Amino acid sequence: MFKAEIANVIIYSPFFYVVGPVVAAATGYYIMDKYFLLILASIMVLIAFLISNYLEKLLIKKALKEGKMSLF
Average pLDDT of the chain is 82
The domain of 16 spans 1-32
Residues 28 and 47 in one domain: no
Residues 28 and 1 in one domain: yes
Single pTM value for the model: 0.56
Counting the structural domains of the chain, the total is 2
Residues 1 and 28 in one domain: yes
pLDDT digits (tens, 9 = 90+) for 24-64: 888 888 777 878 878 888 898 899 999 999 999 998 888 88
Residues 46 and 72 in one domain: yes
The CA distance from 68 to 32, in Å, is 48
How many H-runs (helices) and E-runs (strands) does the chain carry? 3, 0
pLDDT digits (tens, 9 = 90+) for 30-40: 777 878 878 88
Residue 18 lies in a domain: yes
